[in-house]
A and B are shown apart, each in its own frame.
Chain A
Amino acid sequence: MKGFKIIIIVILLSFGYNAFADAGFSIRRRTAPAKMTFEGIQNLSGYTLLVVEYSFEKSDSLLKNPFISHKETVTDLYKIYVQNGGKRWDESERYIHFALAKTDSTETVTDTFTVYMEKWNYVMQVSGVKDGKLLYTLKKSKAYYPFSIFSDDEAGENTIVLNRWIYIICSLVGFSLLIWLFLKRNKSA
């Protein structure tokens, strides 16, 4: 009976631990959607920076095409999320293909490059253009989840964004109570 009591306690503890780990807490904490932001785009006089393609592929098929059909102009307010969060974890990898083009009527592309994003937040600091090539530095930081269960985008203006710790503590209290009930029951038996 003592052995069985230990097994039950281990099951209760491991169930709680594994679930918390999967829920984005503790050692196996899940990473958040990777985000890229931009600074210093105003330094590009006579040029525009374009996002040409999000891709699973490293090779930039669109960039080989002389006619770029899809393009988005990058500004300082522009943000790229390679993963929308939630359950779509398979979208955590993306190759972002950029092109630097002149702002004249021909929009000649003078530079292309690719940034691989996964589990990292990037800040692209653009310092200018030299010989048609973009001068930039990339600062990166780990894309961890903030400790809130709902993202700011998801929560409405009147919704209180609850801290994840409330959920974790509440659940731990429940599991502790279960273990206590189990121990108490066995002592009285």
Chain B
Amino acid sequence: MSLFASIIGFIIVKFFFQSLFYAKQWKRLLLLVLATSLATAPLLAMLYRETAVDFFYVYIGMIVLDILLLNFLVEYKWWKAIVSSFLANTFLMIFFFIGNG
């Protein structure tokens, strides 16, 4: 999967699932989704292609990072952050593995 396609895919998947929880703050959420997608999509591609990193830990790391960022940059509500991060990152991983084989 090309870098461009993976970043666009990350933005769509993340924004779709997290906007279900943060519909009112969609502008701030979009900015956060853009930044996190830009940061994680190329990094995941490199980690997947070139290292033996266990992707379960990468998945957990992404969820934790997302929870913290959503809490402190969008809305301070732990349950919303936990549920939306888990949901978005699970589908993100499915999308990533389908795209990269």
Binding site for B on A (CB under 8 A): 8, 11-12, 15-16, 19-20, 22-25, 30, 85-89, 145, 149-150, 162, 164, 166-168, 170-175, 177-178, 181-182, 185
Among A8, A89, A170, contact of B3 (Cβ-Cβ < 8 Å): A170
A89 near B52 with CB under 8 A, answer yes
A22 touches B53 (CB 8 A): yes
The answer to whether B39 touches A23, judged by C-beta atoms less than 8 angstroms apart, is no
Contacts A23-B50, A171-B38, A178-B69 aside, 20 further interface pairs with beta carbons under 8 A come to A19-B46, A19-B47, A20-B43, A22-B47, A87-B51, A149-B45, A149-B49, A149-B50, A162-B3, A166-B3, A167-B45, A170-B3, A170-B38, A170-B41, A171-B40, A171-B43, A172-B39, A174-B36, A178-B39, A182-B69
* B68 to chain A: closest residue by CB: A8
- A contact patch SS: helix
B-side interface residues, number (CB < 8 Å): 29
| Residues in A whose Cβ lies below 8 Å from that of B53 | 22
